[in-house]
Amino acid sequence: MIDHLNYIKEAVIRGNHTEIKALVEKALDAGVDPTALINDALIAAMDIVGREFGEGKIFVPEMLVSAVTMKAGLEVVKMRIVGDENRSRGTVVMATVKGDLHDIGKNLVAMMLEGAGFRVLDLGVDLSVEKLIDQVKSIQPEILGLSALLTTTMPEMQKVIQELQTQGLRDKIKVMVGGAPVDRVFAEKIGADGYGANAAEAVELARRFVAERA
């Protein structure tokens, strides 16, 4: 039997972006569970890439090609699992904070939220406090999701929450935060409404926020 997950994991680690789509399609066609594919192949591969980068075994260009490969694989899974756009549980605005270009985790959270029936407006990466607040004012989402992957960009999350407070918007929106260096203690400290350790937890949290409003 073909070890689909291992092939995909290896393809991401090696940055084999030309073959990843076909490999993921083949795995899904063979009945591999999309969640297992995401967790045990795509994310598992990025963990190894991150470790190798941290140990100085690979450098930014290699990390980037792996990221591109992971994103291409994720896109294929997304096409399969994102459901009917007409049913909306609520609107979520997602962004990676200022100074931070990491978007794979955010994209994954956005994709799982869409799959769970939320309307997701993804503002992208490197979002300044000002831009985020402007977008919140114009879109008026129920939930704002902030992602940060660098210890140096985590404080931006607190700035956003403080600015929501200053502008009298804080009680109109739930703020959830996440990203590898973020944890529950940090989330509480900065006054976020919740923290998701992974995409599944983010979806649970969003569901809870919406249920609390009802």
Q: Which residues bind ligand B1M (CB under 6 A)?
A: 43, 46-47, 49-50, 53-54, 60, 63-64, 67, 99-106, 108-109, 145-147, 149-151, 176-181, 196, 198-199, 202
Closest to ligand B1M by CB, 23 or 45: 45
Quote the CA–CA distance of 79 and 50 in Å, as a whole number.
26
Report, in Å, the least distance between residue 137 CB and ligand B1M: 19
Question: What would you report as the CA-atom Rg of the chain, rounded to the nearest whole angstrom?
Answer: 18
> Given strand 194-196, what is the order of strands in its sheet?
119-122, 91-96, 143-147, 174-178, 194-196
Token pair for 99? 């100074």
Q: Left (φ > 0), alpha (ψ -120 to 50) or beta: where does 33 sit?
A: beta
Question: How many other C-beta atoms lie within 10 A of the C-beta of residue 160?
Answer: 25
- For ligand B1M, the closer of residues 133 and 149 by Cβ is 149
Q: Which is nearer to ligand B1M, 147 or 158 (CB)?
A: 147
Q: How far is the CB of 57 from ligand B1M (least distance, A)?
A: 11
Q: Which amino acid is it at 36?
A: A
Q: Which is nearer to ligand B1M, 2 or 197 (CB)?
A: 197
Shortest gap between Cβ of 111 and ligand B1M (angstroms)?
10
